[in-house]
Structure 1
């Protein structure tokens, strides 16, 4: 763990860290020396996730927080900074999906998708940024999607939220660059997670995806860990406003 990818002593806050992509990336950060704070709403799930990291020799703790509450993210960040001294890395990963035809999409579902996938990352970044600016260092990583740039029927609000998060990522990179705070995004393709269970079980979609993706398969959550480690480490100190796509070549092909 020596070198530019060494995260020893770093404090990494990972939202949605109890399962799926968040846990996979948190495991990668922990394996490179970071203490990971796993944030979510399901304490038993967070406890199990933290235990799995510690059993592998890493350092982790669970923290329950409702990211949709206006004041909770700021209070959580303040508490973590008091206990740990700082937050070096913020990985905004928590997200939800809701599939429905656009003409039948209810306002409540629209706002729930946008609040979770776009507003919550904005609030988290706003909460950690002041201390990062004062310290003159920090890493903010946002989990985007290939749908940040591509359109697909039945998930239009999700794409709109992730597209907004892509623009937020670049705007923050510009505003925080002079303070030596790097802000980047990871755009996964189709990964085998709980969110995509129904799609993976659909033979028509599964066949389409395998044919459409040059790698010929679904991605695995752990395959995002390397991207997260790179963007969290000194190896990316001159990389900001960038979107690192991890999609098996899907967006490179026609």
Structure 2
């Protein structure tokens, strides 16, 4: 039976402001990408999400980002490699304190937003992320886009790599994500999201923005927690996967 991990970005609040419905999403997903305070999240939120994740048997991952609270980590930034490596390690370490206190560990690392897209092609920034992961834990898996420089360099460094796909994001013909500023970058029709998820899990294929089928082989499938109706959509995707014969389980 085909198996796929379902991950979602969680803990994306700050202080009294909350963006994601962490508790309900943790009843659906198998892996939680927890914001580590640089694009969203704070100590109280990180601790709460870790406790909830452990209670529900959900794997905890560190979602590392550029230091950009005002821009939600989605603005392009030029950070010196040594500084970026240190900040990646810092974020992983901060989350791991709360994961350990809850009875677990940080089990993987995934970049967020602008950093995620930057390390698809930028060797220097990708290398800095890998260095940061190695500083924190040389055995941590790294989630990223299939064919990205990040996964290539992580694999070369001996880190486990996990290719991921996106259920609700449009793809270019080159297999990269359509920039969020472009019309149609986020897929909003629930039926289409479910159909794309099943195709990605079972066939490793998705239709690009140009209407052509492209290969996207992935072990983990991301559902964004900050989109309207995220919980109901996540439930529909999981149900659609299971009804099509796909086993939904964490990769780590």
* TM-score normalised according to structure 1 size: 0.38
**Structure of higher CA gyration radius:** 1
Normalising by structure 2, we get a TM-score of 0.38
Q: Please state which structure has a larger fraction of its residues in helix.
A: 1
